[in-house]
């Protein structure tokens, strides 16, 4: 796939290729705009006896966190504007019905806001039919 992306003309670098698998433990999608990276992640939760995992969200001394509610879903939003913060914004939630953890995070220098993160999460929930 890397060769196909390198050979693509212009700024269009979307490559689609089928993956031959039936199960996955998680997915991590990375989107880049200039120096900003936005990661969307989904991972099987603790109710999977073979591969499930409990989640821990670390927080530095310079970070603040709050609980945010969108409809029936509860989210943890963490913001860290401290020096050296790798992940300035982080939104995390657990879907009990699907047994999946979701998270959205950005990179240092990102201009995304708390409102942007909530809007992204709302669109993900809407698309998933939650």
* Residues 81-117: tens digit of each pLDDT: 766 677 888 899 988 888 888 999 998 888 888 999 9
- How far apart, in whole angstroms, are the C-alpha atoms of residue 29 and residue 41? 6
Give me the mean pLDDT over the 115-128 stretch: 85
The whole-chain average pLDDT of the chain stands at 80
Domain-wise residue ranges, the chain: 23-128
- The CB-side HSE value for 36 (13 A sphere, CA atoms) comes to 11
Position 130 pLDDT exceeds 60: no
Reported pTM: 0.72
Give me the mean pLDDT over the 17-26 stretch: 74
Query: What does the block give as tokens for 75?
Result: 């989210």
Residue 13: how many CB atoms within 10 A of its CB?
A: 11
Percent of the chain exceeding pLDDT 70 equals 78
pLDDT the model gives residue 84: 65
């Amino acid at each position: 796939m890397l060769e196909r992306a390198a050979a693509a003309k212009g700024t269009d670098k979307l490559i689609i290729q089928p993956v031959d698998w039936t199960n996955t433990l998680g997915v991590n999608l990375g989107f880049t705009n200039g120096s900003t990276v936005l990661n969307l992640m989904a991972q099987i939760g603790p109710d999977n006896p073979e591969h499930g995992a409990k989640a821990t969200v670390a927080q530095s001394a310079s970070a603040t966190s709050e609980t945010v509610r969108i409809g029936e879903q509860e989210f943890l939003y963490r913001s860290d504007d401290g020096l050296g913060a790798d992940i300035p914004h982080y939104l995390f939630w657990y879907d009990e019905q699907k047994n999946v953890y979701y998270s959205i995070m950005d990179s240092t220098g990102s201009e995304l806001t708390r409102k942007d993160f909530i809007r992204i999460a709302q669109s993900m929930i809407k698309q998933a039919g939650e």
